[in-house]
Amino acid sequence: MFEIAELGQSLGDDEYAREVPVLRTRLLEMQQALKDAPFPVVVLISGSDGSGKGDMVNKLNEWMDPRLMRTFAFGDKTQDERERPDYWRFWRKLPAKGRIGLYVGSWYSDPIARRVAGITGDAGLDAELIRIRLFERTLIADGALVIKLWLHLSHDQQKARLEALAADPLTRWRVTDKDREHLNLYKTFRGIAEHTLRQTSTDVAPWVVVESGDANYRNFTVGMHILQRIQHHLEHYGRSSGKHHSEKDSGDGEGSSHSDSIPHIHRPRTLLGSLDLSQSLSKDEYQQQLEFWQGKLAVLAREAQRQAVSMVIVLEGWDAAGKGGVIRRVIPALDARNYQVIPIAAPTDEERDHHYLWRFWRHLPRDGKVTIYDRSWYGRVLVERVEGFASQAEWQRAFSEINDFESQLVEHGTLVSKFWLHIDPDEQLKRFKEREKVSYKRHKITDEDYRNRERGTDYETAVNEMVERTSTELAPWHLIAANNKRFARIRVLKQLCESLQQRLKNEDN
């Protein structure tokens, strides 16, 4: 693969001086056109030591408008990053739609470095490359353009460059013992890098290898490639009538709910339909059990904090199912300094400019902390599906995206507890009417709540498919019969204790 980047390509100073002003103008014009585009651009600058990755990034920032582009460099993990799943730091720094994210060092750096150092083997590297392909596919399926550039130097070129840097007092500081060590490992690094590029160069996110022995050739080639790829992507959206891929399409069924095509008769028994909603607790039983389970959860939560085990608690359910009441019974058992409650409403403008999972990655807890989501990423396969805010292709692929997201949390060591609070339509209507009578609860009821009741069958279909496809061994769903609020609250507290106790037992083993 790298032989094509060892041909001695170069660009003379006169030609470079003549062509670069034209290229810079076109890049700036492209950025203006991109500004209102419904997709972000992710540019990875990777490659050999000494290949000029930093110089290349500096040059792009010189040529382009930095107000429309951000540069990110990933080195050793910070304490914050070590206390969260690996991809947390990448999700947090994804560009918004219409913007460019320029990455020197990326999700490829650590897997390659660990394999070169012998920390992982071939199987470990391949497992990480599968995760990378899935991550990039997730971004691309949401419209992102991913540009991957590998700056290559031969062994002799790398050696000569390091020697030149070391000989100059002004650049000597840039050559470290690690650089010299890497030069000795060049053959190993090259083989692993070639394998990585072959495994992750796809039709939608191909690697482009750029010969980097001549800085003029490298700079101009990289700039032209970025320009052409973004222009092509803009033209693609233009041919699509400028319509964002997640907007409803008329006539092809792409933007309609899948449930519209399912007959509303002769439905089989569903998971939700199998719940016994008559289960209840008296007030006296409730008070006794509330004190017991809150106390048990308090002890377990403090032990989890001591062992640096984080928790993500997801509460979903029908409108007025009692999610807020459950949260108010959970948090007294937690250290107020140790948890956060994230209520999820319609996305903000900033959130709409990112992948739908972005806003949830931002709030993941550090090791030993707790995040409670009052509604969650499952909105993509529920309200967005039923109401047509997500196309069929978007919400269908979301099942695998969500499973991968949650598996990353669990692999990091986070306990993921997911609860669906289920009530029947009569109980829901009763609670709506009761809320309207209480001054401090009236704000919870809107015309939208009543309108959603009219699509109850569609929502139930979506909920059942959600549970079937995302209740995994790593992150199972717990379906809670919630017609009786007292019963539901105790059931959630008890399940949290059981799950956390098992998680801490596994940690001890």
What does the pLDDT read at residue 251? 34
CA distance 7 to 275: 69
Query: Looking at the structure, do residues 445 and 495 belong to the same domain, yes or no?
Result: yes
pLDDT level of residue 436 (50, 70, 90 thresholds): confident
143 inside domain: yes
Query: Looking at the structure, do residues 304 and 163 belong to the same domain, yes or no?
Result: no
Whether residue 75 is predicted with pLDDT greater than 50 in this model: the reply is yes
What does the pLDDT read at residue 61? 96
CA distance 433 to 428: 9
162-166, 227-231, 456-460: segment of lowest average pLDDT: 162-166
Over 165-206, what HEC string results? HHHCCCCHHHCCHHHHHHHHCHHHHHHHHHHHHHHHCCCCCC
pLDDT level of residue 390 (50, 70, 90 thresholds): very high
Q: At which residue do the structure tokens 């039923």 appear?
A: 386
Q: Which two tokens stand for residue 403?
A: 């499973």
CA distance 447 to 452: 9
Final residue in a domain of this structure, among 239, 257, 283: 239
For the chain, how far is it from start to end, CA to CA, in angstroms? 45
Query: Contact, 323 vs 372, CB < 8 A?
Result: no
List, in sequence order, every residue forming a beta bridge with 454; answer none if it has no partner: none
What does the pLDDT read at residue 237? 81
Whether residue 500 is predicted with pLDDT greater than 70 in this model: the reply is yes
Domain count of the fold of the chain? 2
What does the pLDDT read at residue 264? 35
What does the pLDDT read at residue 184? 84
What does the pLDDT read at residue 269? 53
Query: Contact, 85 vs 411, CB < 8 A?
Result: yes
247 inside domain: no
**CB-based contacts of 373: which residues, under 8 Å, 6+ apart?**
312, 313, 314, 315, 342, 344, 360, 363
Each residue of 267-311: pLDDT tens digit?
Answer: 445 678 888 999 999 999 999 999 999 999 999 999 999 999 999
Q: Rounded mean pLDDT of the chain?
A: 89
Query: Looking at the structure, do residues 232 and 301 belong to the same domain, yes or no?
Result: no
Whether residue 259 is predicted with pLDDT greater than 70 in this model: the reply is no
Query: Contact, 280 vs 487, CB < 8 A?
Result: yes
What does the pLDDT read at residue 229? 95
CA 233 from centroid of its chain's CA atoms? 22
Sheet arrangement for strand 370-374: 339-343, 370-374, 311-317, 415-422, 477-481
What does the pLDDT read at residue 440? 66
CA distance 197 to 289: 57
Cα–Cα distances in Å, from 63 out to 35, 37, 99, 138?
Answer: 17, 21, 15, 30
Query: Looking at the structure, do residues 291 and 224 belong to the same domain, yes or no?
Result: no
Query: Looking at the structure, do residues 233 and 279 belong to the same domain, yes or no?
Result: no
Angle at 476 between CA 471 and CA 482, to 5 degrees: 100
250 inside domain: no
Q: Are strands 41-47 and 69-73 parallel, antiparallel or unpaired?
A: unpaired
Each residue of 3-61: pLDDT tens digit?
Answer: 777 878 899 999 999 999 999 999 999 999 999 999 999 999 999 888 899 999 999 99
- Span 468-490, mean pLDDT? 94
Whether residue 492 is predicted with pLDDT greater than 70 in this model: the reply is yes
264 inside domain: no
> Is the full-model pTM beyond 0.85?
no
44: CATH: 3.40.50.300
Domain span including residue 359: 273-508
Each residue of 121-174: pLDDT tens digit?
Answer: 999 999 999 999 999 999 999 999 999 999 998 888 888 888 888 888 888 887
Q: Are strands 415-422 and 311-317 parallel, antiparallel or unpaired?
A: parallel
24 inside domain: yes
